[in-house]
Structure 1
Amino acid sequence: MKVLVVGSGAREHAIAWKFHTSTRNNGVFCAPGNAGTGEFAVNLDIDVSDTRAILSAVNEYGIKLVFIGPEVPLSRGLADELRKNSIPTVGPGADGAKLESSKAYSKEFMLRHQIPTAKARIVKNSGELEAALKDFQLPLVVKKSGLAAGKGVLETSDLVRAREFAESQLKDGEVVIEEFLKGYEISIFALSDGKNYLLCPPAADYKKAGDGNQGPNTGGMGAVCPVPWFDASLMPEIEETIIRPSFQGLRNDGIDFRGILYFGLMITAEGPKVLEYNVRFGDPEAQAVIPLMETDFANLFEAVANQTLETQQLSISPLQSICVVVAADGYPDEYRKNLKVELPDIRLEKRQHLFHASTMERDGELVTGGGRCFSVVGKGTELLKARNRCYELASQVKFPGAWYRKDIGNRIFGEDAD
């Protein structure tokens, strides 16, 4: 089966690599892909939002399944257009994608379907802001409603800073003011065909730039799967109060959700609560989760696209997995691109993976193209072995100013706001 993966990040590299390992692989294509995917797939010079070019490529190359990786083309209705043309597609339509593209809509969805979440108020203009801020104790959380690449959230005990951040985000649309939940975070991916779902093991990501969970928010600096400190006895409650009601809510709202629904949860003293939905694999959690998925990717996601997921079982490796993101100097603020990279040869390694993010070949040399440049993954029979393999590999990724957090794998409590 020929597959097209839309996107250029480390997440898409991991997805494309897993399709490449399928026994049914008859060609993997990426739009646009990166230097890493170019080692085993055909990279197409197509922007992720160029629907016409993607449709043309599907027809030209005889592609039988399209997997949409990032949130932006999903929010713009790429999956809708592909399905209108009878192309099996992994990824929700624009209606389902609103669960991520609008935090205001997402919060209203949770409240409407009685899904446990933080107390919140939706603010549409400056006139509503003061009343909303007075409605919450400090610390509190301010979220941009629209897409923000994981960086549109401020957790703070400083009311002045909260007001300034909210005002800056109101220029682009609504903001959501939320109570600050105490506990620890986990991420759960559910694969859905619109009627059935399968759950991946919980993962945890590290959002802050600095060690000890300090510094500004990022798109994610690392992840671990499964989560050693997660109380597995909570899974029945999570399914009963959050996962099933979410999918039932989608069906009640007439939304045909075929793709990945990401549940960002806070495990609080009062029980699990939803922080956010994403409508695709999270990055970097996907890079930790996907290497543990043993079910044939082509079979699994063909079933997602064709609404036959009841025919599949999700087999997961018993290993531990840790992902560390190697970033460019300055990230998550301004950073340099086009930096020459030197990488180790790990082609024979089975418990180490190196996923590229927006890298490219230029004049015969590998160069960086983004802020989060590589995702390094180590696997092991226990957390320490996975971590050692991961950091051994991270230390061998060389480019000017390369940096990464040194504490991925430590427990995240998430109890402090700045």
Structure 2
Amino acid sequence: MPFAIYVLGLGIFTMVTSEFLVAGLMPQLSEDLGTGIPQIGYLVSVYAAAMALGGPLLTALMLRLRQKTALVLLYAVFLAGQALGALATGYGLMVAARLVTGAASGAFFGVALAVCVRITGPEVRGRATSIVLGGLMVGTVLGLPLSQLAGEQYGWRFAFWAVAALAALALAVTCGAVPALPKEETGGAGGSVRAELGAFRNARLWAAFATSMLIIGATFAAFSYFVPILTDVTGFAAGTVPLLLVVYGAATVVGNAVVGRLADRHTMTVLGTGLALNTVFLTVFALGAGNAVTALAAMTGIGLVGVTMNPAMVTRVMRTANDRPLVNTVHTSFITLGVVVGSWVGGIGVAHWGLRAPLWTGAVMAVLGLLTLLPDALRRPASSASSDSSASDGSSARSAADPSLPTTERPTRV
């Protein structure tokens, strides 16, 4: 496994930590910026919106660059935004900082995944993707409490500068560890926006995007409200909940590693099994939220099969279209949209039906995710039903090598 893979994971960890940074610093930010707590909460949404909308635009502007050059420039943009946030004296400047860092983060995900595919062999590609995306899992689990601790001890500006320093370290290591791939070997380099956009004419790609959005939406519909559910419905003490969330976070790390090992050979099976299990766990949680053992077991299960589907989701998208930065960045936008939609719909459920509603909402979204897999499952010829491995070679990003295509869409050999 190339060392560069771990460096890419460090970069994603840094940017995910920045995304959730303000959530742990709300009181300090509210006081210093002269605004209310809800307005500080909106800064998370601003970052997510910038990832979803600004990320693809920023990626499109960098298509003609070598991918290593694009990574370096994205780090530079991110560092500028992070420094602006650390120096902000008003809410407007902080919003601008979040827009800059969010757009850089969204584009970074896409380019990092494209580089990951280029520097690894097909036999380890799924595991490599899981390591890069492991930065997302670890950032979600550790980024928020670490930033909160740093903010409480040294102030919120120190926390912002600490993330900037980590990004600078990641940039320095990237310059030495990530190879400078030639233009002809890098998917987006030397290409054009028109050529990249051609991939989006594939209806199956949009179905894959929809699956990813629903997988993440189902998980975050529940995850966003774990704390009030565990305290007000299950009855755990408030001081116990952080420990329970660490258990959930550890489950996501384990699940991500397992899915990474299976994603290449059994992509569709992993996605279908994960969605089915998540439906079960969310339903069990909704029915048994009043029991501590049931709630903890179901929450751990959601951690194992929720966001951990990311490596399989990425593999499916790359096989359906290509492994280039723009496709990966737009995919990241749909994943981010899943976070937003899941949390929003879950909140509507809480307002109308109580704290168990987000769990039911997540279960419904998981079922819808299963339905989006049906067209691909029905199109697969019986001969390929036993394994997904035939498309895991270096050309698997192209539709001709995708085993999920019907026989009539494959090239005829004479």
Q: State the TM bucket, normalised to the shorter chain.
A: under 0.3
> TM-score normalised to the size of structure 1?
0.23
Q: Higher strand share goes to which structure?
A: 1
> TM-score normalised to the size of structure 2?
0.23
Q: Higher helix share goes to which structure?
A: 2
Higher RCO structure (Cα 8 Å, ≥6 apart): 2
